[in-house]
Amino acid sequence: MGTMHPPTSNAAEAASNVPLHYLILAHMQPGQLRRLIDRLDGPDVYFYIHVDLKSDLTSFTAAIPQQNVCWIGNRISCIWGDFSIVNATLLLIKAALKPVGQDGMCVLLSGQDYPVKSSAHIRHFFAHHAQSVFLDFKPAEEVWPDFAVRTTYYKLQHSPDKLDYTLFHKWDVRSYLKLLFKGQLRCLSDSRVWQSRKLALPLKFYGGSQWWAMPVEVLSRVYDYIRINEKELFDFFQDALIPDEFFFQSMFSLPEIRLDNPILSPVTYVRWDGKKHPQPVVFRAGDEIELQSLPGTVLFARKFDSDIDSEILEKLDSNDH
């Protein structure tokens, strides 16, 4: 949707930078997203933005006039813990890889992420790690002791509302009771829920935080594998619980995804609230000491909400001065 035009830049300055391609999943607060883009913008920087189908796209395009922004036209209604998040990410990847001869680093962010380092530090960091993959990559069973539920049960989504789903397995009596309690027994008319979930591909499951950064050439190999094996992957992962936390990680268990360097830790920091359904903490004024003391390898944090506290963003902006 729209043609990408690189921002004007000094040739010498541009040559010292690795092109940065920010892939952003957004659903709220166009003004805050504009602020994020303003902080990250610069020579050889490009933005690809997917706005949740439930949100008004025009409010975002009106707030963000930069020419180096590509808006995803074929938008998806994104649901927490659902394969729709993976699908929206794949649309961003497809757009970012579309230009022939593309190179540089691709960075996946949400619209509620924000830099905790200066834009100069971020550019310098990626220029010196241009061949590295930054990904939360751990055996899935180590991250989640109950991980088997994600790959053996069917996630039956009842509405677009968060947590409005039932995990179903034909041998689990509790599954039937939960569907009965929610008035959703009609889900059992779908023949697929009576079949065992199996993935006919040699993936090993790895997982962790959904946010990553990796070179274009690596992401291209990942995307080619997904495209070639789309039916098998989609058939399996569309019924998984929170697949965005292990879909892309699991691709790196494959020999086809060749890496010259070890996978490094993510560049995005998240602090969780530790409740039954953990959520990222919304950072507020006073948290800047914690965020500014993060190591130099951590470039971003999430999440922020300018309606709750915009002062923290102003304090972090001081990093760029």
So what's the pLDDT on residue 99?
77
pLDDT digits over 54-109, tens only?
999 999 999 999 899 999 999 999 999 999 999 999 999 999 998 767 799 999 99
Beta bridge partners of 24: 49, 109
So what's the pLDDT on residue 87?
97
So what's the pLDDT on residue 10?
42
Give the predicted TM-score (pTM) of the model: 0.91
Residues of the chain scoring pLDDT < 70 = 1-16, 100, 276-277, 320-321
Backbone angles phi, psi at 116, to 5 degrees: -110, 0
Q: Please tell me the distance from the alpha carbon of residue 207 to that of residue 139, in angstroms, as a whole number.
A: 6
Please return the burial class of 7, using the count of CB atoms within 10 Å of its CB with bins 0-12, 13-18 and 19+. Answer: middle
Query: 248-275 burial by CB neighbour count: b if 16+ within 10 A, else e?
Result: bbbbbebeebeeeeebeebbbbbeeeee
| Interstrand relation of 20-26 and 105-110 (parallel, antiparallel or unpaired) | parallel
